[in-house]
Amino acid sequence: MKAFVHQGSSSRIVFGVDSVQSIPEEIERLAAKRALVLCTANQREQAEAVAETISSRVAGIFDRVEMHVPIEVARQARQAAASLGADCALAIGGGSTIGLGKAIALESGLPIIAVPTTYAGSEVTPIFGLTEGGVKKTGRDPKVLPRTVIYDPRLTVTLPFSMTVTSAMNAIAHAAEGLYAYDGNPVMELMAEEGIRASAASLEPLAMNPADLGARSDALYGAWLCGTVLGSVAMGLHHKLCHTLGGTFNLPHAEVHTVILPHALAYNFDAAPAAMRRIARALGKADVPLAVYELARKHGAPTSLREIGMTADGLDRAADLAVSDQYPNPRPLERTALRALLQRAFDGISPQA
């Protein structure tokens, strides 16, 4: 076995159906008293229902969360936390809501309790993003890592099935890239393989019954494992492409991940045989890129960039951006091959190495 370094996460994980009931005691455990509840306007009702059960510990509800954490919204939320005397933030929602919590923590050090309701995985990473003047900047800071994460599968039952599939694909992408990370380690490999298995296996039962709490638990368990991999090791071509496409062409986050993943895996297929063996085992299929493509297609998820809002005239620019700065990836970044990858993803045809 090759030498490695592993830094365990300091987050406390509370997992299980109805685990939101432990929020009061988790607030106390942080020596906090008054939580600012964060949510989107869409999820206000869900957040209010949780807030009602902990009413004496709620400083207020901030429901103006927006995708990609615009700096103006972050400033409003920081101001709300200060003026309401909040001594912790309770982020109930997906990556956007947890991202706003991180923006508050970045400045004030306020502890965050995250209650994720998608499978994006932000709750277990020290990665933050802030958008200023239309440009999204990301960074890493241990201060933004939620101190406590409460995974309650009951809160994910309302996630529409279409978003369930793309969000689970987003989770699978973190683990898949973690398997060929230059700074990977055996613990992350175990988590990644199991995360892919649990995430993928949850989709079939959820297609039949989106309220299946057993399958919702599996999906959330997978999200935790995959998110932990994202927070611990370096991502490669897939995440770089998705970041470029999402940021430059304003494409929806989980959908971009869903469309690009099979093609990024095909690109890296020959260069990362050990990673592909683990993904194959997790999915029970030898042709990994095709299996990922079929998993999305079978469950009605988008498979082409065209159908999620990309236009053909952006493909050259996307290829230029993808090779504009070098980053670790099992296969070197070659513009011609990447342009071909983007064309296949644009057209939605099956992946090819």
Please report, as ranges, the residues that interact with ligand NAD according to CB under 6 A: 40, 42-43, 67-68, 93-97, 99, 117-118, 120-122, 125, 127-129, 155-156, 158-159, 163, 167, 230, 253-254
What is d(CA 196, CA 193) in angstroms, rounded to the nearest whole number? 5
Task: Name the nearest CA neighbour of 341 among 333, 327, 352.
Answer: 352
Q: Given the DSSP bridges, would you call strands 135-140 and 127-132 parallel, antiparallel or unpaired? A: antiparallel
Give, in order, the Cα–Cα distances in Å from 220 to each of 17, 98, 156, 188, 247. 11, 15, 8, 17, 26
Q: How far apart are the first and last CA of the chain?
A: 28
Pick the closer one to ligand NAD by CB: 14 or 245.
245
Residue nearest to ligand NAD (CB): 95
Pick the closer one to ligand NAD by CB: 100 or 276.
100
Pick the closer one to ligand NAD by CB: 89 or 276.
89
Pick the closer one to ligand NAD by CB: 153 or 184.
153
Residues 65, 39: contact at Cβ < 8 Å? yes
Query: Closest separation between CB of residue 187 and ligand NAD, Å?
Result: 19
Task: Name the nearest CA neighbour of 154 among 227, 50, 51.
Answer: 50
Query: Closest separation between CB of residue 168 and ligand NAD, Å?
Result: 11
Query: Closest separation between CB of residue 133 and ligand NAD, Å?
Result: 17
Backbone region of residue 216 per phi and psi (left: phi > 0; alpha: psi in -120 to 50; beta: other values): alpha
Pick the closer one to ligand NAD by CB: 95 or 269.
95
Mention every residue, 6+ apart, whose C-beta is less than 8 A from residue 33. Answer: 27, 57, 87
Query: Closest separation between CB of residue 255 and ligand NAD, Å?
Result: 9
Helix axes 186-208, 213-232, angle to 10 degrees: 150
Residues 20, 150: contact at Cβ < 8 Å? yes
Query: Closest separation between CB of residue 127 and ligand NAD, Å?
Result: 4
Query: Closest separation between CB of residue 160 and ligand NAD, Å?
Result: 7
Pick the closer one to ligand NAD by CB: 46 or 108.
46
